[in-house]
């Protein structure tokens, strides 16, 4: 049943996104340190790429 599969997909996506919330909160609280700015920019970009898939 197409509706059932769609609902399951939504539940899986919701579970993944809810699991990512703590990581997103931590990234938002990280103070910029000149040595880590490039690495944090890369991490944030990778995370945004993953989230954009949803």
pLDDT in tens, 43-52: 888 888 877 8
Alpha carbon distance 13, 47 (integer Å): 15
- In a 10 Å sphere around its CB, with 0-12 CB exposed, 13-18 middle and 19+ buried, how is residue 42 labelled? exposed
C-beta of residue 54 within 8 angstroms of C-beta of residue 46: no
- What is the chain's mean pLDDT, rounded? 77
Structure confidence at residue 33 (pLDDT): 66
Domain ranges of the chain: 2-52
pLDDT at residue 40 is higher than 70: yes
- Token readout for 36 is 């880590």
pLDDT at residue 21 is higher than 80: yes
């Amino acid at each position: 049943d197409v509706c059932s599969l769609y609902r399951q997909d939504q539940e899986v996506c919701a579970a993944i996104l809810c699991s990512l919330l703590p990581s997103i909160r931590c990234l938002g609280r990280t103070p910029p340190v000149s040595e880590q700015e490039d690495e944090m920019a890369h991490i944030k970009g990778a995370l945004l790429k993953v989230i954009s898939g949803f």
